[in-house]
Amino acid sequence: MLRILIASSFLLAFSAPTLAQAPSRSIESETGRIAIETFAEGLEHPWGATYLPDGALLVTERPGRLRLVSTDGAVSDPIGGVPDVVAGGQGGLLDVALDPDFANNRMVYLSYSEERGGAATSVGRGRLNENESALSDFEVIFRQEPAVSGQNHYGSRLVFAPDGKLFVTLGERFKMRQAQDANNHLGTIVRINPDGSVPDDNPFVGKDGADEIWSYGHRNVQSAAIHPETGVLWAAELGPRGGDELNIPEAGRNYGWPVVSWGRHYSGERIPDPSTRPEFAGTIHSWTPVISPSGMTFYTGGMFADWRGDLLIGGLSAEGIIRVRIDGEQVAGEEVLALGRRIRDVVQAPDGAVMALTDEPAGRILRLSPAASQ
Instruction: State yes or no: pLDDT of 21 exceeds 90.
Output: no
User: Higher model confidence: residue 42 or residue 22?
Assistant: 42
Q: CA neighbours within 13 Å on the CB side: how many for 278?
A: 0
Report the pLDDT averaged over residues 213-229.
Answer: 98
Q: Residue 13 has what pLDDT? A: 34
Q: Residue 22 has what pLDDT? A: 53
Instruction: State yes or no: pLDDT of 69 exceeds 80.
Output: yes
**Can you say whether residue 62 is alpha, beta or left, with left for phi > 0 and alpha for psi between -120 and 50 degrees?**
alpha
Residue 186: exposure state from Cβ atoms within 10 A (0-12, 13-18, ≥19): buried
* Domain covering 4-370 assigned CATH 2.120.10.30 in the classification: yes
pLDDT band for position 24 (cuts 50, 70, 90): confident
Report the pLDDT averaged over residues 162-191.
Answer: 98
Dihedral sign computed on CA atoms, order 364, 108, 146, 219: negative
Omega of the bond leading into 156 within 30 degrees of 0 (cis):
yes
pLDDT band for position 373 (cuts 50, 70, 90): low
Question: Alpha helices of 122-196 — where are they, by DSSP H?
Answer: none
Instruction: State yes or no: pLDDT of 90 exceeds 50.
Output: yes
Instruction: State yes or no: pLDDT of 374 exceeds 90.
Output: no
Least Cα distance to 344 among 334, 335, 352, 355 occurs for 355
CB of 168 within 8 A of CB of 148? Answer: no
Q: Residue 372 has what pLDDT? A: 86
State CA 10 to chain mean position distance. 25
Backbone phi, psi, residue 274, to 5°:
-55, -30
Instruction: State yes or no: pLDDT of 306 exceeds 80.
Output: yes
Instruction: State yes or no: pLDDT of 95 exceeds 70.
Output: yes
- Residue 228 Cα distances to 242, 301, 309, angstroms: 29, 11, 8
Task: State the catalytic residues.
Answer: 153
Rounded CA separation 247/250 (Å)? 9
Instruction: State yes or no: pLDDT of 275 exceeds 60.
Output: yes
Least Cα distance to 236 among 277, 190, 197, 292 occurs for 292
Tally: H helices and E strands in the chain: 1, 25
SS3 for 46? strand
CB of 288 within 8 A of CB of 275? Answer: no
For the segment 107-117, what is each residue's pLDDT rounded down to a tens digit?
A: 999 999 999 99
Instruction: State yes or no: pLDDT of 141 exceeds 80.
Output: yes
- Average pLDDT, rounded, for the chain: 93
Q: Which amino acid is at 100?
A: P
> Over pLDDT 70: what percentage of the chain?
93
Residue 272: exposure state from Cβ atoms within 10 A (0-12, 13-18, ≥19): exposed
The domains of the chain are located at 4-370
